[in-house]
């Protein structure tokens, strides 16, 4: 039933966004889509608040770029680039959304970070959740999607940079998918609460799933540069998302792991945080 309510929330958000795109008196496809995106976020927030569970918003990160990409692809652009970029965005978004769905246990399950924030913020939780857990990620995704916008609306011919962008983006999706699969298998099979996942991709990086996510947004940036060499300013997107993972997401989970896993400090000393490298030998 929880998934049904979640589907209703996103259908309502999509309907609100579509109406906004049609009726808003805004000429720019970028600003029209950005405004509709914020409206859709507020609709999802209304469901989060109604069901007292901010995890309603979690799949928004991977769903919104698909909707934005489809809308922007309706404008003039290079059809071959449209097909390539949209296929990659959909592959990334569908897989990431499915990965969230199979781990969400229902309305009584909320992301542990939200639970901690709820405990710390008390009565101000839902105001904090609106700004920090809903609107802030939406802005981050919009920044990342500036590159997607450029890649889809400008009809530039294909170049070798498109091939590079496709390689980076495809590699990112594969890395994230393999890392998530390995993590899922570990959580299903592991019976030792103190054991640390340090095999497969996790032997080379403590957060290979985050590495794949960060690389995906850099891949979109390369598509923007392939389309328009002057679109260097779209680098703000991957920089902002990389900064969020490096300075917010990773420190939060590292702090939790240090609390839950007695040997995690030694693991930190051996295995790089994000960028993969050969693990150091045991002391």
Mean pLDDT of the chain: 95
- pLDDT for position 91: 98
Percent of the chain surpassing pLDDT 70? 99
Q: How far apart are CA 33 and CA 11, in angstroms?
A: 17
pLDDT band at residue 109 under the 50/70/90 scheme:
confident
Assess whether pLDDT exceeds 80 at residue 141. yes
Percent of the chain surpassing pLDDT 90? 88
- pLDDT for position 220: 98
pLDDT band at residue 4 under the 50/70/90 scheme:
very high
Assess whether pLDDT exceeds 70 at residue 282. no
Which tens digit of pLDDT belongs to each residue from 64-105? 999 999 999 999 899 999 999 999 999 999 999 999 998 888
- pLDDT for position 281: 63
Q: How far apart are CA 107 and CA 281, in angstroms?
A: 44
- pLDDT for position 41: 98
pLDDT band at residue 1 under the 50/70/90 scheme:
confident
Assess whether pLDDT exceeds 70 at residue 21. yes
Q: Two tokens at 180? A: 């998530």
Which tens digit of pLDDT belongs to each residue from 22-49? 999 888 999 999 999 999 999 999 999 9
Assess whether pLDDT exceeds 60 at residue 283. no
Instruction: Give the pLDDT mean for 244-252.
Output: 97
The sign one gets for the Cα dihedral 226, 228, 231, 237 is: negative
pTM of the model: 0.95
- pLDDT for position 69: 98
- pLDDT for position 103: 87
- pLDDT for position 2: 80
- pLDDT for position 267: 94
Which tens digit of pLDDT belongs to each residue from 195-235? 999 999 999 999 999 999 999 999 999 999 999 999 999 99
pLDDT band at residue 119 under the 50/70/90 scheme:
very high
- pLDDT for position 278: 81
């Amino acid at each position: 039933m929880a998934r049904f309510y979640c589907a209703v929330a996103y259908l309502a958000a999509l309907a609100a966004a579509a109406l906004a795109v049609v009726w808003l008196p805004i000429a720019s496809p970028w600003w029209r889509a950005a405004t509709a995106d914020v409206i859709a976020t507020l609709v999802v927030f209304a469901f989060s608040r109604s069901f007292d569970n901010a995890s309603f918003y979690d799949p928004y990160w991977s769903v919104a770029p698909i909707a934005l990409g489809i809308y922007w692809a309706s404008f003039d652009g290079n059809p071959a680039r449209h097909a390539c970029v949209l296929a990659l965005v959909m592959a990334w978004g569908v897989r990431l959304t499915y990965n969230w769905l199979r781990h969400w246990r229902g309305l009584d399950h909320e992301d542990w970070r939200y639970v901690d924030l709820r405990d710390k913020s008390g009565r101000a939780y839902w105001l904090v959740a609106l700004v920090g857990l809903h609107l802030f990620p939406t802005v981050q995704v919009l920044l990342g999607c500036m590159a997607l916008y450029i890649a889809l609306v400008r009809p530039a011919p294909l170049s070798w940079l498109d091939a590079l962008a496709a390689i980076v983006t495809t590699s990112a999706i594969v890395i994230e998918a393999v890392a998530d699969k390995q993590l899922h298998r570990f959580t299903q099979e592991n019976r030792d609460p103190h054991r640390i996942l340090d095999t497969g991709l996790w032997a080379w990086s403590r957060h290979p799933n985050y590495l794949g996510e960060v690389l995906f947004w850099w891949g979109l940036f390369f598509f923007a540069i392939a389309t328009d060499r002057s679109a260097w300013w779209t680098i703000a997107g991957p920089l902002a998302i990389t900064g969020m993972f490096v300075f917010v997401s990773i420190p939060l989970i590292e702090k939790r792991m240090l609390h839950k896993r007695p040997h995690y400090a030694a693991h930190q000393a051996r295995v790089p945080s994000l960028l993969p490298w050969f693990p150091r030998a045991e002391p």
